[in-house]
Structure 1
């Protein structure tokens, strides 16, 4: 059968088999990783419970955009550039570590405050652009994300696959990330969940501050690696 041509001279060979074992395994691994509790998901949960659905959705969109940006850059080969220019990796790690520690301090201060405020800035009064920028910043200041994406691309590509197929892997993983992040925002902004948050606010914020601090220290500790 002759090869089917797509608009823009893109052939069907660019798209990998959607049911290939390698892609299925990569998507399963990515889904487990992105849905696991971490700084990003905890931030979405905190924004949803303290600031409501609107705040959480905008923050989740920013986090997703930041994650997808690293994925696209990984597919384009940025990892090789960052490995070659070590100073760029060090600078991003220091910036990311400092940003995470800043978030940890603000959330810890919230936990010790008698007022139920979202000191990370994700309450209902925050403008959308600020929430979006905060989510972007959480991911774009973490250079390790590009290597996580690189490993997903390597897992998802079958032997002998064209380099352009990496973008298909990123698109599939990005769809999963969108579902997970938006799902967290919707579920944890439900009235019952928000009422529960009012009872566990201090404990939850201390856990979230610890997660931010751990992520920050790990970035700073490995800045020269």
Structure 2
């Protein structure tokens, strides 16, 4: 396992990187503005689970394929970007999202799974997450203390947990602004803003350059 010093250094590095506004934060904020606190929090945790699976891909060595293959990178990038645009367009069409807090209990479980699933797909299909893990995880691995893959999985899980907690905070703050505007028309404006933000994020993801 990584030494205590290595692990603490990784936690600090993760916090610095996570707190810098990026695609995950913008994604959660977009969901908060569109659908409110509950879906924002579920999205944050779904996104974090997807991010962990991205770290698992790196841990078992498949991330190198995306790092070396421009085609593989492009497939993952454009698939993720298209999915973000789809979610944004879906939000713009879905007026029911304005009344998310009044969803019937019978449909609660399905909505939870669907919301977390959408977050998972976005987190997993972010190629820059895989490239980040390829660059950062090996720096904090103790090569003389057990399985490298297991250590990388532990670090990936740690990063994902910190990301989930931080993104949850962003979602709560953003949804508070939405909740202040209880009347339908202001909520419609906030929902439209959230949907537009997701579409913009998808376009930015597609236009981003490989680094």
Asked if 1:123 corresponds to 2:100, the answer is yes
| Structure ranking higher in helix proportion | 2
Change (3 A) 1:68 1:197: farther
Alpha-carbon distance between aligned partners in 2 of 1:133 and 1:47, rounded to the nearest angstrom: 13
> By how many angstroms is 1:32 displaced?
2.3
Instruction: List per-residue Cα deviations over 1:65-84 (Å, max 9, x = no partner).
Output: 11111012112212123345
CA positional deviation for 1:19: 2.5
> How far apart are 1:92 and its partner, in Å?
1.5
Would the aligned equivalents of 1:30 and 1:152 in 2 still touch at CA under 8 Å?
no
2:130 aligned with 1:181, yes or no? no
TM-score, normalization by structure 1: 0.68
- Residues in 1 aligned to 2:204 and 2:138: alpha-carbon distance in whole angstroms: 28
1:213 and 2:200 aligned: yes
Please provide the CA RMSD for this pair: 3.6
Question: Would you say the 8 A contact 1:49–1:194 is kept in 2?
Answer: no
Mapped to 2, the partners of 1:197 and 1:17 lie a distance apart of 50
Alignment correspondent of 1:68: 52
Structure with more relative contact order (C-alpha pairs < 8 Å, separation 6 or more): 2
Tell me which residue corresponds to 1:92: 76
The answer on whether the counterparts of 1:75 and 1:166 sit within 8 Å (CA) in structure 2 is yes
1:136-189: per-residue Cα shift (whole Å, max 9, x none)?
Answer: 121222222111122230232256565142222223212212221333344444
2:133 matched residue in structure 1: 149
Does residue 101 (structure 1) correspond to residue 85 (structure 2)? The answer is: yes
**Pairing 1:31–2:15 present:** yes
TM-score (norm. length: structure 2): 0.71
Indicate if the aligned counterparts of 1:38 and 1:211 stay in contact, CA closer than 8 A.
no
> Deviation string for 1:180-202 (max 9, x for gaps)?
13333444444x66206976974
Contiguous gaps of at least 5 residues in structure 2: none
Structure 1, unmatched stretches of 5+, are 1-14
Greater Cα radius of gyration, structure 1 or 2:
1
Give the match's secondary structure for 1:123.
helix
**Which residue number corresponds to residue 65 of structure 2?**
81
2:36–2:178 CA contact under 8 A, matched in 1: no
